Amino acid sequence: MQVPAYVEYEKATSVEHALTLLARFGPEARILAGGHSLIPMMKLRLVQPETLIDINGLGELSYIDVAGGELRIGALTRHAELLDSAVAGEHFAILHDAERVIADPVVRNWGTIGGSLCQADPSEDLSGTFAALKASMIIRGPDGSRTVSAREFHTGPYETVVAPGEMLSEISIVIRPGCGSAYEKVGRRVGDWPIAAAAAVVWLDGARGPGEGGAGEGGPGKGGPGGERISEAGLGLTAVGAPNFAAAEAEEYLCGAPAVEETFAEAGRIAAENCNPVSDQRGPADYKRHLARELTVRALRRASERARAACRSR
Amino acid sequence: MQITVNVNGADYSRDVEARLLLIHFLRDDLGLTGSHWGCDTSNCGACVVWLDDTPVKSCTVLAAMADGRKVRTVEDLAMKGAGEAGGGRLDPIQQGFAECHGLQCGFCTPGMMMTARWLLDRIPDPSPEEIREALSGQICRCTGYENIVRSVLWASKHTGGSVASAEADE
């Protein structure tokens, strides 16, 4: 029988109250959101907090909306809510791709977006996803709030920049026209962490509004089926030891390149070359590297198709 | 700590340790042993109950987290489905499992049925694929999945009005 060790419990009534409790109980206190990572770890004594600060009642942290040209996701939003959100899927189809393969439907009902990110598992699907989206993390603390880019959020396995006394409050993503996005994952079975996964976000030129920057230049070829070039790309990799969950070298190559198969293949090659998978119970390193390459290609292909569709509908 | 949880329509106040898991609160403190305690790692789904309006794995939720909330367990399926005047009639989901041999050892059945009920409330006429997806976080170690899917399909075709009428009362 697995039960957590003795722990004190406080129920926060507001974000301010949660921050006060964090300050009062110190670094051995932990925020309790969905608990679907924290409680299993407490059962195994991998973590043994002195105090849990339950934020499940904080409706002010549970929202998905568009404001100021950004999609904003409150940290307490449940996975199922993000998967059900039409506005999230409309702007960033990758969020639905990823949520559909995170854990299982029952776990998604209670697990939270912020909790998954703060758990910072090296195989967390959302970490690669938000790295590709170049999202911003808003962290609240006793001195107000600060914003950190998704790529600076993780400092290592199970470690983030969120300091004792602080809490993640929101994830925001800038909405720009001409965008398409996709997530591709291979896992051993339903509900499992990925063996490897790739996230791709592309912006195709010709779709940007006035004053939002022009098309990239210098790429080879004549462009995609409609002559499109990739003006900007975000590539995320999960579970393969990519620095900051991103494939920066491949992104650089994609910038200004035509949106065609040859480009995707080369980006996949570069992405696979620059990640550092390790062999473990989910698979050998060379297999994971192969997946990083192939899944990057598939994600780019699908993201570009979606970007084209978005351009056509404008 | 003192908590009050509304379980199957009745409020229960108990003094519990913060570390008490919801599944143990239901089984040991309230004697509601219909929900099963299985893998303890949120993988198998035998412990699924509704917390407010959605199924959750109660081995991975603290009883304290249910304080002030509603919990619905398998014990409520027939009561809700039949009502006082229903003569103890089973929920169509339960009837489906009986009709289609949806259980062998029965250990996974309470969780399967609670998630299936939730599915049919959201999608009254699901495809077999939708049923498999909804139940994908739950394991039947007898591997009786084919009949479980058939049972849920049966329930979707035989709503019998019991659940709909009970929910109209809420």
Q: How far apart are the first and last CA of chain A?
A: 57
Q: State which amino acid sits at residue B147.
A: N
Provide the 10 A C-beta neighbour count for residue A237: 33
pLDDT at A216: 42
Q: What is the CATH number of domain B2-73?
A: 3.10.20.30
Confidence of residue A275 (pLDDT cuts 50, 70, 90): very high
Helical (H) or strand (E) element with B75: helix B75-82
CATH topology of domain A8-54: 3.30.43
A226 CB-side CA count, 13 A: 14
Instruction: Output the average pLDDT for chain B.
Output: 91
Can you give the pLDDT at residue A206?
63
Whether the pLDDT of residue B133 is over 90: the answer is yes
Domain with CATH 3.30.390.50 in chain A: 179-312
ipTM for the predicted complex comes to 0.90
Mean pLDDT in residue range B113-120:
98
pLDDT of A80-137, one tens digit each? 999 999 999 999 999 999 999 999 999 999 999 999 999 999 999 999 999 999 999 9
Mean pLDDT of B66-82: 85
Using CA atoms, how far apart are residues A127 and A151, in angstroms rounded to an integer? 9
Q: What is the pLDDT of residues A246-255, one digit of tens each?
A: 999 999 999 9
pLDDT at B44: 95
| B42 interfaces chain A, CB cutoff of 8 Å | yes
pLDDT at position A313 is 83
pLDDT tens-digit readout, A191-241 = 899 999 999 999 998 644 334 444 444 344 456 666 789 999 999 999 999
Helices B75-82, B92-99: inter-axial angle, 10-degree rounding: 110
- A179-312 sits in which CATH class? alpha beta
The strand ranges marked E within chain B are 2-7, 10-15, 48-51, 54-57, 70-72
More confidently predicted of A205 and A299: A299
- Of A4, A36, A105, which is closest to B19 when you measure between CB atoms? A4
Q: Is the dihedral of CA B159, B162, B165, B168 positive or negative?
A: negative
- Closest partner residue to B18 (CB to CB) among A1, A8, A107 is A8
- Write out chain A residues lying below 8 Å of B43, CB-based: 191
* A287 inside 8 A of chain B by CB: no
String of DSSP letters for A259-305: SSHHHHHHHHHHHHHT-----BTTB-HHHHHHHHHHHHHHHHHHHHH
| Residue spans in chain A of domains classed CATH 3.30.43.10 | 8-54
CA distances from A123 to A116, A157, A187, B69 (A): 10, 9, 11, 32
Quote the CA–CA distance of A87 and A68 in Å, as a whole number: 14
Q: Is the Cβ of B94 closer than 8 Å to some Cβ of chain A?
A: no
pLDDT of residue A218: 39
Residues A11-48: tens digit of each pLDDT: 999 999 999 999 999 999 999 999 999 999 999 999 99
Q: Which fold has domain A59-174?
A: 3.30.465
Token duo for residue B104: 């062998």
- Inter-residue contact A147 to A11 (CB < 8 Å): no
In this structure, which CATH number among 3.30.460.10, 1.10.150.120, 3.30.360.10, 1.10.630.10 belongs to the domain B76-169?
A: 1.10.150.120
Sign of CA dihedral B148, A192, A65, A183: negative
How far apart are alpha carbons B61 and B41 in whole angstroms? Answer: 11
What is the per-residue pLDDT for A226?
65
Of the candidates B71, B25, B31, B65, the residue with the CA atom closest to the CA atom of residue B14 = B25
Chain B CB contacts of A7 under 8 Å are 18-19
Q: Confidence class of residue B163 from pLDDT cuts 50, 70 and 90?
A: very low
> What's the rounded mean pLDDT across residues B88-93?
88
Name which of A1, A5, A40 is nearest B19 (Cβ-Cβ): A5
**Range(s) within chain A of domains with CATH label 3.30.465.10:** 59-174
Q: Where are the domains of chain B?
A: 2-73, 76-169
Put simply, the answer to whether B21 touches A191 (Cβ < 8 Å) is no
Say which residues have a Cβ less than 8 Å from residue A143's Cβ, sequence separation at least 6: none
Average pLDDT, chain A: 93
Are B18 and A191 an interchain contact pair (Cβ–Cβ within 8 Å)? no
| Each residue's pLDDT tens digit, B10-61 | 999 999 999 999 999 999 999 999 999 999 999 999 999 999 999 999 999 9
Task: Answer yes or no: are the C-beta atoms of B42 and B59 closer than 8 Å.
Answer: yes
Q: State the pLDDT confidence band at B89, using cuts at 50, 70 and 90.
A: confident
Provide φ and ψ at A313, rounded to 5°: -80, -5
Scan for tokens 């009837």, then name that residue.
Answer: B95
Q: Which amino acid is at A213?
A: G
